[in-house]
């Protein structure tokens, strides 16, 4: 190990991570060249490909590496929160109709395609320009750009670095949910912890909100798969001894490193565009159900943040700032008040941090902190974190019974395959309240609001 391994967690989370060998992955990452300060992991840590999910590592530009395993297969998988002016109690009876309308407009499930068809030129524009480009095509508002990480586009994207197979898999997928842990939820704000920040974010107790969680779909998966193969040879040529072949990587400044970053940035832009198109479809659904414009309904984007990507950022104290390649795999950016990359509208309180939980309990809205900048490269947890694999969950949980149980609690559920719902059962995840409590107590992100599900769409 070139640096220490540090895990932000309570004892039970540490013991669980050790049992499933996720701590070994934290140690392995600490052996990679050019790593800065420490190999880190958040309280939602669990075993992943190469890096543990919940892993964070930053590498120096001059001697560090970039690794697809430190980003993941679902590049720029992330979440966005949309507020409304609606009081949940006043429209509760409309939630089933709203969920049905959303389910009808937004394709969900493995391999599903939407109604938006792009030609080769349009796809190249999307991959280079991200969400701002699709907003120019009519899928959203200009002010949405101000409420997205990086303004909705990661610079440095080059479609020439994305294979024809990856692009082919992306055609027809903007505005689609996908499967796995991706979801759209209609939620109730049931707790406010920080009135000042909540007011800045436009959130209030009793409010109806919408949370959408999706990523780069088949395009991102293909990019990751192809570059993992390329990186294995690149690491060998660079004389890098890997403690785990899943940590295939290349020097940041190498040809392979630059090409992976350019392809990854394309997938990042695709993911953000995907969520932007979904936002447009969400607004259309609300307009149809409530017979009122999205503007009157107050359907404003609070924030969009990704939790699977590598980015070039500056970290360190005054006079000591370094440009680093920060890998966040299942970890969310958590920048503080006053940081220039926090949208102007939120700069007085800090960046909104959106942490989804499981479909039976709650999700959280938090704010970024100076403590995170000092101790975790401006990072915090990304969700509850699994305690049960998908196959294991299917063995012990019945999807039809789970659906009935959730609906008995007033949570409307729509899914393409009810039997597969078991994979995402609440008992397959850690307690989101405890995960968020760790981040709050150590200061990586501070609680602003808690939201609980009223209606859920799963792929």
Sorting pLDDT into bands at 50, 70 and 90, what band is 300?
very high
Mean pLDDT to the nearest integer, 334-355: 97
Distance (Å, whole) CA 189 – CA 450: 6
Mean pLDDT to the nearest integer, 340-364: 96
CB proximity list for 15: less than 8 A, separation 6 or greater: none
Per-residue pLDDT of 183-192, as tens digits, reads: 999 999 999 9
Query: Is residue 291 a contact partner of residue 191, using CB atoms and an 8 Å limit?
Result: no
- Per-residue pLDDT at 200 exceeds 80: yes
Torsion sign over Cα 145, 112, 69, 333: positive
Mean pLDDT to the nearest integer, 209-213: 98
Sorting pLDDT into bands at 50, 70 and 90, what band is 109?
confident
Sorting pLDDT into bands at 50, 70 and 90, what band is 155?
very high
- Per-residue pLDDT at 309 exceeds 70: yes
* Cα Dmax for the chain: 64
In 316-362, the DSSP E strands lie at: 322-329, 331-333, 352-355
Distance (Å, whole) CA 117 – CA 345: 34
Per-residue model confidence (pLDDT) at position 113: 72
Domains of the chain: 5-387+429-458 (3.90.1860.10)
Element (H or E) spanning 41, and its range? strand 39-46
Sorting pLDDT into bands at 50, 70 and 90, what band is 111?
low
Sorting pLDDT into bands at 50, 70 and 90, what band is 112?
low
pTM of the model: 0.96
Report the share of the chain in percent with pLDDT over 70: 99
Sorting pLDDT into bands at 50, 70 and 90, what band is 329?
very high
The structure tokens listed for 179 are 């499967």
Mean pLDDT to the nearest integer, 416-438: 92
- Per-residue pLDDT at 328 exceeds 90: yes
Smallest Cα–Cα separation from 212: which of 174, 180, 177?
Answer: 177
Report the share of the chain in percent with pLDDT over 90: 90
Mean pLDDT to the nearest integer, 339-352: 97
Pick from 34-43, 260-269, 418-427: least confident = 418-427
- Per-residue pLDDT at 110 exceeds 80: no
Terminal Cα distance for the chain, rounded:
40
Residue corresponding to tokens 């220490």? 4
- Per-residue pLDDT at 318 exceeds 80: no
Note if 440 is an active site residue: no
Mean pLDDT to the nearest integer, 425-448: 96
- Per-residue pLDDT at 277 exceeds 80: yes
Residues in the chain: 459
Per-residue pLDDT of 45-87, as tens digits, reads: 999 999 999 999 999 999 999 999 999 999 999 999 999 999 9
Q: What is the mean pLDDT of the chain?
A: 95
Catalytic pick from 327, 382, 400, 440?
382
- Per-residue pLDDT at 324 exceeds 90: yes
Four-CA torsion 239, 241, 246, 248, nearest 10 degrees: -20
Per-residue pLDDT of 380-404, as tens digits, reads: 999 999 999 888 899 999 999 999 9
Per-residue model confidence (pLDDT) at position 37: 97
Per-residue model confidence (pLDDT) at position 418: 87
- Per-residue pLDDT at 331 exceeds 90: yes
Per-residue pLDDT of 169-180, as tens digits, reads: 999 899 999 888
Per-residue model confidence (pLDDT) at position 172: 87
Return the number of other C-beta atoms located less than 10 Å from residue 444's C-beta: 28
């Amino acid at each position: 190990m070139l640096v220490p391994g540090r895990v932000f967690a309570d004892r039970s989370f540490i013991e669980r991570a050790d049992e499933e060998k996720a701590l070994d992955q934290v140690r392995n990452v600490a052996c990679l060249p050019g790593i800065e300060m420490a190999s880190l992991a958040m309280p939602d840590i669990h075993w992943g490909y190469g890096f543990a999910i919940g892993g964070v590592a930053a590498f120096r530009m001059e001697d560090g590496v970039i690794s697809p395993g430190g980003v993941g297969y679902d590049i720029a998988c992330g979440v966005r929160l949309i507020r409304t002016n609606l009081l949940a109690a006043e429209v509760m009876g409309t939630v089933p109709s709203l969920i049905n309308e959303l389910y009808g407009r937004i394709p969900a499930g493995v391999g599903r395609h939407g109604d938006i068809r792009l030609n080769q030129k349009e796809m190249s524009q999307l991959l280079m320009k991200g969400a701002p480009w699709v907003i120019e095509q009519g899928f959203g508002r200009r002010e949405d750009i101000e409420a997205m990480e990086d303004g909705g586009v990661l610079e440095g994207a080059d479609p020439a670095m994305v294979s024809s197979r990856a692009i082919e898999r992306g055609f027809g997928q903007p505005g689609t949910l996908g499967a796995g842990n991706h979801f759209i939820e209609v939620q109730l704000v049931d707790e406010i912890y920080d009135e000042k920040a909540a007011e800045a974010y436009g959130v209030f107790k009793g409010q109806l909100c919408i949370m959408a969680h999706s990523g780069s779909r088949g395009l991102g998966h293909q990019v990751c798969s192809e570059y993992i193969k390329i990186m294995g040879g690149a690491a060998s040529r660079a004389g890098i001894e890997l403690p785990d072949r899943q940590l295939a990587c290349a020097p940041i400044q190498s040809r392979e490193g630059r090409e992976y970053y350019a392809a990854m940035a394309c997938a990042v832009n695709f993911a953000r565009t995907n969520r932007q198109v979904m936002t447009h479809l969400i607004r259309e659904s609300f307009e149809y159900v409530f017979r009122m414009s999205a503007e009157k309904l107050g359907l404003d984007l609070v924030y969009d943040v990704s939790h699977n990507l590598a980015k070039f950022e500056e970290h360190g104290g005054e006079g000591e700032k370094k440009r680093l390649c920060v890998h966040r795999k299942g970890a969310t950016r958590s920048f503080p008040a006053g940081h220039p990359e926090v949208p102007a509208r939120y700069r007085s309180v800090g960046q909104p941090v959106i942490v989804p939980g499981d479909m039976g309990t709650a999700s959280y809205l938090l704010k970024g902190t100076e403590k995170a900048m000092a101790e975790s490269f401006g990072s915090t947890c990304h969700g509850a974190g699994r305690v049960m694999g998908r196959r294991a969950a299917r063995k012990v949980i019945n999807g039809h019974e789970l659906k009935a149980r959730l609906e008995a609690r007033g949570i409307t559920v729509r899914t393409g395959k009810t039997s597969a719902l078991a994979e995402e059962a609440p008992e397959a995840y850690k307690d989101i309240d405890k995960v968020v409590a760790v981040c709050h107590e150590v200061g990586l992100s501070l609680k602003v609001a808690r939201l609980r599900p009223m209606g859920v769409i799963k792929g």
